[in-house]
Structure 1
Amino acid sequence: MKKILLISDTHSYIDAQILKFVKQADEVWHAGDIGDLNVTDTIKKLKPLRAVYGNIDHKEARLEFPLDAKFNIENTTVWMTHIGGYPTKYNQRIREELTKNTPKIFISGHSHILKVQYDKKLNLLHLNPGAAGIYGFHKIRTMLRFSIDKDAIKDLEIIELGERGK
Protein backbone atom coordinates (compact mmCIF):
# COMPACT_ATOMS: atom_id res chain seq x y z
CA MET A 1 0.00 0.00 0.00
CA LYS A 2 1.22 3.51 -0.88
CA LYS A 3 0.03 6.78 0.64
CA ILE A 4 -0.07 9.49 -2.04
CA LEU A 5 -0.20 13.26 -1.71
CA LEU A 6 -1.45 14.88 -4.92
CA ILE A 7 -0.75 18.58 -5.47
CA SER A 8 -0.87 20.99 -8.38
CA ASP A 9 -0.50 24.63 -9.30
CA THR A 10 1.95 25.64 -6.61
CA HIS A 11 3.18 28.50 -8.83
CA SER A 12 6.54 28.70 -6.97
CA TYR A 13 4.93 28.53 -3.52
CA ILE A 14 5.64 25.98 -0.82
CA ASP A 15 5.17 26.38 2.92
CA ALA A 16 5.30 24.45 6.18
CA GLN A 17 1.64 23.53 5.84
CA ILE A 18 2.24 21.74 2.54
CA LEU A 19 5.41 20.13 3.87
CA LYS A 20 3.56 18.75 6.89
CA PHE A 21 1.44 16.65 4.51
CA VAL A 22 4.44 15.80 2.31
CA LYS A 23 6.10 14.19 5.33
CA GLN A 24 3.03 11.99 5.93
CA ALA A 25 2.99 10.56 2.38
CA ASP A 26 4.96 7.72 0.81
CA GLU A 27 5.05 9.59 -2.53
CA VAL A 28 4.12 13.06 -3.75
CA TRP A 29 2.64 13.64 -7.20
CA HIS A 30 2.68 17.17 -8.66
CA ALA A 31 0.30 17.78 -11.58
CA GLY A 32 2.11 20.79 -13.04
CA ASP A 33 2.52 24.55 -12.83
CA ILE A 34 5.39 24.03 -10.44
CA GLY A 35 6.95 27.45 -10.97
CA ASP A 36 10.30 27.71 -9.21
CA LEU A 37 12.04 24.33 -9.01
CA ASN A 38 12.72 25.05 -5.34
CA VAL A 39 9.22 23.60 -4.82
CA THR A 40 10.06 20.20 -6.30
CA ASP A 41 13.63 20.22 -4.94
CA THR A 42 12.26 20.73 -1.43
CA ILE A 43 9.75 17.90 -1.85
CA LYS A 44 12.38 15.54 -3.31
CA LYS A 45 14.55 15.99 -0.22
CA LEU A 46 11.71 14.53 1.85
CA LYS A 47 9.85 12.02 -0.33
CA PRO A 48 9.87 10.40 -3.77
CA LEU A 49 8.29 12.73 -6.32
CA ARG A 50 6.52 12.21 -9.63
CA ALA A 51 5.71 15.41 -11.50
CA VAL A 52 4.75 16.85 -14.87
CA TYR A 53 5.34 20.35 -16.15
CA GLY A 54 2.53 22.82 -16.71
CA ASN A 55 1.89 25.76 -18.99
CA ILE A 56 3.63 28.30 -16.70
CA ASP A 57 6.72 26.17 -16.24
CA HIS A 58 9.96 27.32 -17.83
CA LYS A 59 12.73 25.45 -19.62
CA GLU A 60 14.30 24.02 -16.45
CA ALA A 61 11.07 22.29 -15.36
CA ARG A 62 10.42 21.07 -18.91
CA LEU A 63 13.87 19.50 -19.00
CA GLU A 64 13.41 17.77 -15.66
CA PHE A 65 9.76 16.67 -15.88
CA PRO A 66 7.64 15.27 -18.74
CA LEU A 67 4.41 16.67 -20.19
CA ASP A 68 2.73 13.34 -19.38
CA ALA A 69 3.61 10.82 -16.71
CA LYS A 70 2.22 7.34 -17.30
CA PHE A 71 3.11 4.75 -14.71
CA ASN A 72 1.98 1.73 -12.73
CA ILE A 73 1.90 1.67 -8.96
CA GLU A 74 0.50 -1.14 -6.81
CA ASN A 75 -1.09 -2.75 -9.93
CA THR A 76 -2.84 0.53 -10.77
CA THR A 77 -2.29 2.43 -14.02
CA VAL A 78 -1.99 6.21 -13.73
CA TRP A 79 -1.79 9.00 -16.29
CA MET A 80 -0.91 12.46 -15.01
CA THR A 81 -0.78 15.59 -17.15
CA HIS A 82 -1.33 19.28 -16.45
CA ILE A 83 -3.98 20.24 -19.00
CA GLY A 84 -6.24 17.22 -19.39
CA GLY A 85 -9.80 18.31 -18.86
CA TYR A 86 -12.28 16.05 -17.12
CA PRO A 87 -14.96 13.46 -17.99
CA THR A 88 -17.00 14.43 -21.05
CA LYS A 89 -14.67 17.43 -21.59
CA TYR A 90 -11.21 15.94 -21.99
CA ASN A 91 -8.56 18.01 -23.72
CA GLN A 92 -8.37 17.25 -27.43
CA ARG A 93 -4.66 16.39 -27.20
CA ILE A 94 -5.29 13.43 -24.90
CA ARG A 95 -8.85 12.36 -25.71
CA GLU A 96 -8.09 9.64 -28.29
CA GLU A 97 -5.17 8.16 -26.36
CA LEU A 98 -7.26 8.15 -23.18
CA THR A 99 -9.92 6.00 -24.85
CA LYS A 100 -7.39 3.62 -26.42
CA ASN A 101 -5.15 3.16 -23.35
CA THR A 102 -7.40 3.97 -20.43
CA PRO A 103 -5.70 4.25 -17.02
CA LYS A 104 -7.45 3.48 -13.75
CA ILE A 105 -6.60 7.00 -12.51
CA PHE A 106 -6.40 10.09 -14.73
CA ILE A 107 -4.93 13.20 -13.08
CA SER A 108 -4.85 16.77 -14.31
CA GLY A 109 -4.35 20.20 -12.78
CA HIS A 110 -4.55 23.60 -14.49
CA SER A 111 -8.12 24.64 -13.60
CA HIS A 112 -7.38 25.45 -9.93
CA ILE A 113 -10.71 23.68 -9.26
CA LEU A 114 -10.61 20.60 -7.08
CA LYS A 115 -12.52 17.82 -8.79
CA VAL A 116 -12.96 14.12 -8.06
CA GLN A 117 -15.12 12.51 -10.69
CA TYR A 118 -15.70 8.95 -11.81
CA ASP A 119 -15.93 8.50 -15.59
CA LYS A 120 -18.46 5.68 -16.07
CA LYS A 121 -17.91 5.57 -19.83
CA LEU A 122 -14.13 5.01 -19.58
CA ASN A 123 -14.22 3.33 -16.17
CA LEU A 124 -11.58 5.61 -14.63
CA LEU A 125 -11.25 7.94 -11.69
CA HIS A 126 -10.43 11.54 -12.58
CA LEU A 127 -8.60 13.60 -9.97
CA ASN A 128 -7.74 17.29 -9.97
CA PRO A 129 -6.30 18.47 -6.64
CA GLY A 130 -7.11 22.13 -7.24
CA ALA A 131 -4.30 24.58 -6.42
CA ALA A 132 -1.93 24.50 -3.44
CA GLY A 133 -0.28 27.81 -4.27
CA ILE A 134 -1.25 31.38 -3.48
CA TYR A 135 -1.53 32.68 -7.06
CA GLY A 136 -4.65 32.31 -9.17
CA PHE A 137 -8.38 32.77 -8.88
CA HIS A 138 -9.11 29.92 -6.46
CA LYS A 139 -10.34 30.93 -3.03
CA ILE A 140 -9.18 27.94 -0.99
CA ARG A 141 -5.80 26.20 -1.38
CA THR A 142 -6.37 22.47 -1.77
CA MET A 143 -4.63 19.11 -2.22
CA LEU A 144 -5.76 15.47 -2.27
CA ARG A 145 -4.40 12.47 -0.48
CA PHE A 146 -5.30 8.83 -0.82
CA SER A 147 -3.92 5.32 -0.61
CA ILE A 148 -3.42 2.82 -3.39
CA ASP A 149 -3.62 -0.77 -2.24
CA LYS A 150 -3.02 -3.16 -5.14
CA ASP A 151 -5.71 -1.95 -7.56
CA ALA A 152 -7.91 -0.18 -4.99
CA ILE A 153 -8.00 3.55 -4.29
CA LYS A 154 -8.77 4.05 -0.62
CA ASP A 155 -9.11 6.78 1.99
CA LEU A 156 -9.48 9.63 -0.50
CA GLU A 157 -9.32 12.90 1.41
CA ILE A 158 -9.58 16.56 0.48
CA ILE A 159 -7.04 18.76 2.26
CA GLU A 160 -7.90 22.43 2.61
CA LEU A 161 -4.93 24.67 3.37
CA GLY A 162 -6.90 27.84 4.01
CA GLU A 163 -7.65 30.91 1.96
CA ARG A 164 -5.40 31.69 -0.98
CA GLY A 165 -4.34 35.14 0.20
CA LYS A 166 -3.64 34.22 3.83
Structure 2
Amino acid sequence: MFRIGLISDTHGLLRPEALAFLKGSDAIVHGGDIGNAGILEALAAIAPLTVVRGNNDREAWAEGIAETEQAVFGGVRLCAIHDLSQLGIDPRAAGVRVVVSGHSHKPKIEERGGVLYVNPGSAGPRRFKLPISVAELQIDAGAVTARIAELGA
Protein backbone atom coordinates (compact mmCIF):
# COMPACT_ATOMS: atom_id res chain seq x y z
CA MET A 1 0.00 0.00 0.00
CA PHE A 2 1.21 3.51 -0.89
CA ARG A 3 0.20 6.60 1.08
CA ILE A 4 0.51 9.85 -0.84
CA GLY A 5 0.16 13.03 1.24
CA LEU A 6 -1.53 15.93 -0.55
CA ILE A 7 -1.11 19.58 0.36
CA SER A 8 -1.75 22.85 -1.45
CA ASP A 9 -1.99 26.59 -1.03
CA THR A 10 0.42 26.90 1.87
CA HIS A 11 1.19 30.51 0.86
CA GLY A 12 4.34 30.51 2.99
CA LEU A 13 2.77 28.89 6.08
CA LEU A 14 3.56 25.25 6.84
CA ARG A 15 1.48 24.41 9.89
CA PRO A 16 2.79 21.86 12.40
CA GLU A 17 -0.53 19.99 12.07
CA ALA A 18 0.04 19.63 8.33
CA LEU A 19 3.55 18.29 8.90
CA ALA A 20 2.24 15.81 11.46
CA PHE A 21 -0.42 14.58 9.02
CA LEU A 22 2.11 14.16 6.20
CA LYS A 23 4.63 12.19 8.30
CA GLY A 24 4.62 8.56 7.23
CA SER A 25 3.71 9.37 3.63
CA ASP A 26 5.51 7.40 0.93
CA ALA A 27 5.40 10.54 -1.24
CA ILE A 28 3.98 14.06 -1.05
CA VAL A 29 2.31 16.15 -3.76
CA HIS A 30 2.07 19.94 -3.34
CA GLY A 31 -0.59 21.52 -5.56
CA GLY A 32 0.98 24.98 -5.81
CA ASP A 33 0.89 28.43 -4.23
CA ILE A 34 3.78 27.27 -2.10
CA GLY A 35 5.02 30.63 -0.87
CA ASN A 36 8.73 29.97 -0.38
CA ALA A 37 11.45 27.39 -0.93
CA GLY A 38 11.60 26.54 2.77
CA ILE A 39 8.21 24.84 2.49
CA LEU A 40 9.59 22.52 -0.20
CA GLU A 41 12.69 21.72 1.87
CA ALA A 42 10.58 20.78 4.90
CA LEU A 43 8.27 18.57 2.83
CA ALA A 44 11.13 16.89 0.96
CA ALA A 45 12.65 15.97 4.34
CA ILE A 46 9.55 13.83 5.00
CA ALA A 47 9.14 12.03 1.66
CA PRO A 48 9.88 12.33 -2.07
CA LEU A 49 8.12 15.44 -3.33
CA THR A 50 6.19 16.24 -6.50
CA VAL A 51 5.34 19.93 -6.74
CA VAL A 52 3.72 22.34 -9.19
CA ARG A 53 3.93 26.11 -9.35
CA GLY A 54 0.85 28.11 -8.44
CA ASN A 55 -0.25 31.49 -9.76
CA ASN A 56 1.36 33.20 -6.73
CA ASP A 57 4.71 31.38 -7.04
CA ARG A 58 6.43 33.98 -9.22
CA GLU A 59 9.66 34.70 -7.36
CA ALA A 60 13.08 33.50 -8.54
CA TRP A 61 13.04 30.41 -6.26
CA ALA A 62 10.00 29.04 -8.17
CA GLU A 63 11.29 29.55 -11.73
CA GLY A 64 12.30 25.91 -12.16
CA ILE A 65 8.99 24.50 -10.94
CA ALA A 66 6.65 23.29 -13.70
CA GLU A 67 2.97 24.20 -13.87
CA THR A 68 2.02 20.54 -14.33
CA GLU A 69 3.70 17.31 -13.31
CA GLN A 70 2.90 13.65 -13.70
CA ALA A 71 4.09 10.83 -11.47
CA VAL A 72 3.32 7.15 -11.05
CA PHE A 73 2.73 5.68 -7.58
CA GLY A 74 1.94 2.01 -7.14
CA GLY A 75 1.17 1.72 -10.84
CA VAL A 76 -1.30 4.64 -10.71
CA ARG A 77 -0.59 7.74 -12.83
CA LEU A 78 -1.23 11.07 -11.14
CA CYS A 79 -1.27 14.53 -12.70
CA ALA A 80 -0.77 17.62 -10.54
CA ILE A 81 -1.79 21.13 -11.59
CA HIS A 82 -2.56 24.20 -9.50
CA ASP A 83 -5.62 25.52 -11.33
CA LEU A 84 -7.84 22.71 -12.58
CA SER A 85 -9.39 25.02 -15.20
CA GLN A 86 -6.00 25.06 -16.94
CA LEU A 87 -5.74 21.28 -17.32
CA GLY A 88 -4.77 20.92 -20.98
CA ILE A 89 -5.15 17.15 -21.30
CA ASP A 90 -7.92 14.60 -21.27
CA PRO A 91 -6.76 12.74 -18.17
CA ARG A 92 -8.47 9.48 -19.01
CA ALA A 93 -7.08 9.44 -22.56
CA ALA A 94 -3.61 10.19 -21.12
CA GLY A 95 -3.82 7.25 -18.72
CA VAL A 96 -4.15 9.52 -15.67
CA ARG A 97 -6.19 8.02 -12.83
CA VAL A 98 -5.85 10.90 -10.31
CA VAL A 99 -5.71 14.68 -10.82
CA VAL A 100 -4.51 16.74 -7.86
CA SER A 101 -5.14 20.47 -7.90
CA GLY A 102 -5.34 23.46 -5.58
CA HIS A 103 -6.14 27.13 -6.22
CA SER A 104 -9.76 27.29 -5.01
CA HIS A 105 -8.86 26.60 -1.35
CA LYS A 106 -11.96 24.34 -1.30
CA PRO A 107 -11.28 20.73 -0.34
CA LYS A 108 -13.01 18.33 -2.71
CA ILE A 109 -12.94 14.72 -3.85
CA GLU A 110 -14.86 13.85 -6.99
CA GLU A 111 -14.75 10.99 -9.46
CA ARG A 112 -15.67 11.75 -13.08
CA GLY A 113 -15.31 9.39 -16.00
CA GLY A 114 -12.98 7.03 -14.16
CA VAL A 115 -10.69 9.86 -13.01
CA LEU A 116 -10.42 10.85 -9.35
CA TYR A 117 -10.09 14.63 -8.83
CA VAL A 118 -8.70 15.69 -5.46
CA ASN A 119 -8.23 19.21 -4.15
CA PRO A 120 -6.75 19.00 -0.65
CA GLY A 121 -7.90 22.55 0.07
CA SER A 122 -5.66 25.13 1.70
CA ALA A 123 -3.15 24.24 4.41
CA GLY A 124 -1.90 27.83 4.72
CA PRO A 125 -3.53 31.02 5.99
CA ARG A 126 -7.30 30.80 6.38
CA ARG A 127 -9.26 32.30 3.51
CA PHE A 128 -12.82 33.41 4.12
CA LYS A 129 -14.60 30.69 6.13
CA LEU A 130 -12.99 27.79 4.25
CA PRO A 131 -11.44 24.99 6.31
CA ILE A 132 -7.71 24.46 6.75
CA SER A 133 -7.10 21.03 5.25
CA VAL A 134 -4.80 18.45 3.69
CA ALA A 135 -5.56 15.10 2.08
CA GLU A 136 -4.16 11.69 1.35
CA LEU A 137 -4.39 9.07 -1.35
CA GLN A 138 -4.09 5.41 -0.54
CA ILE A 139 -3.14 3.14 -3.40
CA ASP A 140 -3.49 -0.59 -2.86
CA ALA A 141 -3.12 -3.03 -5.77
CA GLY A 142 -4.31 -0.36 -8.21
CA ALA A 143 -7.32 0.68 -6.11
CA VAL A 144 -7.28 4.36 -5.13
CA THR A 145 -9.07 5.99 -2.21
CA ALA A 146 -8.84 9.60 -1.06
CA ARG A 147 -9.53 11.29 2.25
CA ILE A 148 -9.56 14.94 3.30
CA ALA A 149 -8.47 15.88 6.81
CA GLU A 150 -9.43 19.21 8.35
CA LEU A 151 -6.74 20.66 10.59
CA GLY A 152 -7.38 22.53 13.81
CA ALA A 153 -6.48 26.20 13.40
Residue 124 of structure 1: how far off its partner (Å): 0.5
1:61 aligns with: 62
2:143 aligns with: 152
Which structure has the highest strand share of the two? 1
Structure 2-normalised TM-score?
0.90
Residue 139 of structure 1: how far off its partner (Å): 2.8
1:132-160: per-residue Cα shift (whole Å, max 9, x none)? Answer: 00153353101111311231113x32211
| Identity value in percent | 30
Residue 106 (structure 2) aligned to one of 103, 107, 113:
113
Note the 1:37-52 alignment, pairs <5 A.
Answer: 37-52=37-52
Shift >4 Å, 4+ stretches: none
Unaligned runs of 5+ in 1: 85-90
- The total of aligned residue pairs comes to 152
Paired amino acid for 1:112: H
Structure 1 residues 24 and 138: alpha-carbon distance in aligned structure 2, compared to 1, 3 A threshold: farther
1:72 aligns with: 72
Query: Whose radius of gyration is greater, 1 or 2?
Result: 1
Unaligned runs of 5+ in 2: none
Note the 1:111-150 alignment, pairs <5 A.
Answer: 111-119=104-112, 122-150=113-141
CA distance in 2, matches of 1:21, 1:131: 14
Which structure has the highest helix share of the two? 1
